[in-house]
Amino acid sequence: MSDKLVIKQPEEFAFDAESEKQIEKILSKYPPKRKASAVIPLLYVVQDQMNRQTKSAWVPKVAMQVVAERLEIAPIRVYEIASFYTMFNLKPIGQYHLQVCTTTPCWLRGSDNVVAACMKATGIEKIGQTSNDGLFTLSEVECLGACANAPILQVDHDYYEDMNAASTEALIEALRRGERPKPGSQIGRLNSAPIDHQVSSNKPEAKSSSEGANNVK
How many residues bind to ligand FES according to rule CB under 6 A?
11
CA 75, 42, 153, 198 torsion-angle sign? positive
Task: Find out whether 95 and 55 touch, Cβ atoms under 8 Å.
Answer: yes
Contacts for 22 with CB less than 8 Å, ≥ 6 apart? 45
Is the torsion defined by CA of 52, 41, 115, 170 positive or negative? negative
106 binds ligand FES (CB under 6 A): yes
Q: Residue 59 or 153: which CB sits closer to ligand FES?
A: 153
Nearer to ligand FES by Cβ, of 63 and 146: the residue is 146
Tell me how far, at minimum, the Cβ of 114 lies from ligand FES, in Å. 10
101 belongs to the binding site for ligand FES (CB under 6 A): yes
- Give yes or no for residue 124 binding ligand FES (CB under 6 A): no
By the 8 A CB rule, do 67 and 78 touch? Answer: yes
Instruction: Report the helix count and the strand count for the chain, using DSSP H and E.
Output: 8, 5
Closest by Cα among 111, 112, 181 to 152: 111
Question: Is the Cβ of residue 23 or residue 144 nearer to ligand FES in the bound state?
Answer: 144
For residue 152, state whether it binds ligand FES (rule: CB under 6 A).
Answer: yes
From the list 54-62, 101-109, 122-130, 199-207, the region that binds ligand FES by CB under 6 A is 101-109
Question: Using the rule CB under 6 A, which residue among 23, 78, 150, 171 binds ligand FES?
Answer: 150
Segment near ligand FES (CB under 6 A); pick from 4-12, 83-91, 147-155, 173-181? 147-155
The Cα–Cα gap between 51 and 61 comes to 15
Contacts with ligand FES by CB under 6 A lie at: 101, 103, 105-106, 143-147, 150, 152
